A = this chain, B = another copy of it.
Amino acid sequence: MAKELKELTSRNENYSQWYNDLVIKADLAENSAVRGCMVIKPYGYAIWEKMQAELDRMFKETGHVNAYFPLFIPKSFLSKEADHVEGFAKECAVVTHYRLKNSKDGSGLVVDPEAKLEEELVVRPTSETIIWNTYKNWIQSYRDLPILINQWANVVRWEMRTRLFLRTAEFLWQEGHTAHATAEEAMEESIKMMHVYADFAENFMAMPVVKGVKTASERFAGALETFCIEALMQDGKALQAGTSHFLGQNFAKAFDVTFLDKSNQLDYVWASSWGVSTRLMGALIMTHSDDNGLVLPPQLAPYQVVIVPIYRNNEQLAAITEKVNAVIKKLKALGISVKYDDNDSKKPGWKFAEYELKGVPVRLAMGGRDLENATIEVARRDTLTKETVSVEGIENHVAALLEEIQQNIYQKALDFQQASTRKVDSYDEFKVEIEKGGFLLCHWDGTPETEEKIKEDTKATIRCIPIEGDKTPGVCMVTGKPSAQRVVIARAY
Interface residues, chain A, with chain B CB atoms under 8 Å away: 30, 32-34, 37-42, 45-46, 48-49, 65-79, 85, 89-102, 108-109, 111, 120-123, 130, 133-134, 137, 143, 149, 153-154, 156, 158, 170, 172, 345
How many copies of the chain does the oligomer comprise?
Answer: 2
Residues on B with beta carbons closer than 8 Å to the beta carbon of A101: 89-90
Majority secondary structure of chain A interface residues (helix, strand, loop or mixed): mixed
B39 touches A134 (CB 8 A): yes
Q: Are A70 and B120 in contact (CB under 8 A)?
A: no
Are A68 and B40 in contact, with the CB atoms below 8 A? yes
In the bound complex, do residue B143 and residue A123 qualify as a contact, i.e. CB atoms below 8 Å apart?
A: no
On chain B, the residues within 8 Å of A95 by CB distance are 93-96, 123
Contact A37 B109 (CB under 8 A): no
Q: Are the CB atoms of B92 and A100 closer together than 8 Å?
A: yes
13 additional contacts, CB 8 Å, given A76-B108, A93-B98?
A: A34-B121, A37-B71, A39-B69, A39-B134, A42-B67, A45-B65, A48-B68, A70-B170, A76-B109, A78-B109, A94-B100, A95-B123, A100-B120
| Cross-chain contact of A74 among B30, B34, B67 (Cβ < 8 A) | B34
Q: Report yes or no: A92 in contact with B98, Cβ–Cβ below 8 A.
A: yes
Q: Are B75 and A100 in contact (CB under 8 A)?
A: yes
A339 vs chain B, min Cβ distance (A)? 12
CA distance A77 to B108 in the complex (A): 11
Contact of A67 among B34, B39, B70, B72 (CB under 8 A): B39
Once bound together, how far apart are the Cα atoms of A71 and B38, in whole Å?
10
**A-B contact list, 6 entries, CB within 8 Å:** A39-B68, A72-B93, A76-B108, A79-B109, A89-B100, A94-B98
Contact A133 B33 (CB under 8 A): yes
Residue from the set A98, A108, A111 with the largest chain B CB neighbour count within 10 Å: A98
User: A68 is contacted by which of B45, B91, B99 (Cβ under 8 Å)?
Assistant: B45
Return A37 CB to nearest CB of chain B, in Å.
Answer: 4
The 8 Å CB contact of A134, one of B32, B67, B78, is B32
Contacts of A33 in B (CB 8 A): 70, 74, 77, 130, 133-134
Does the CB pair B97–A94 fall under 8 Å?
Answer: yes
Please name all residues of chain B whose beta carbon is closer than 8 Å to the beta carbon of A75 when the two chains form the complex.
Answer: 100, 109
Q: In the complex where A100-B75, A100-B89, A120-B111 touch, is A42 in contact with B69 (Cβ < 8 A)?
A: no
Specify which of B48, B72, B102, B111 is in contact with A37 (CB 8 Å cutoff).
B72
Which B residues are CB-close (under 8 A) to A38? 70
Bound-state CA distance A98–B154 (Å) is: 17
Q: A34 and B130: CB pair below 8 A?
A: yes
Which residues in B have their C-beta under 8 angstroms from that of A42? 65-67, 149
Q: How far is the CA of A41 from the CA of B66 in the complex (A)?
A: 8
Partner of A154, one of B34, B65, B71: B71
Residues of chain B lying within 8 A (CB to CB) of residue A158? 98-99
Kindly provide the distance from the CB of A138 to the nearest chain B CB, expressed in whole angstroms: 9
Bound: A345/B92 CA distance, A: 45
User: Is B99 touching A89 in the complex (CB atoms < 8 A)?
Assistant: yes
Report Cα–Cα, A115/B48, bound state, in Å. Answer: 32
Of chain B, the residue at the smallest CB distance from A137 is: B30
Q: Is the CB of A122 within 8 A of B100?
A: yes
CB A87 to nearest CB in B, in angstroms, measures: 12
Task: State in angstroms the CA–CA spacing of A276 and B97 once bound together.
Answer: 27
CA–CA, A85 to B38, complex, Å?
A: 24
Name the B residues within 8 Å of A93 (CB-CB): 72, 95, 97-98, 121
Query: Please, how many angstroms separate the alpha-carbon atoms of A48 and B345 in the complex?
Result: 41
Contacts of A39 in B (CB 8 A): 67-70, 134
Q: A108-B79, A345-B143 are in contact. Are A32 and B100 (CB under 8 A)?
A: no
**Interfacial chain B residues near A133, Cβ < 8 Å:** 33
Residues of B with C-beta under 8 A to A120: 100, 111
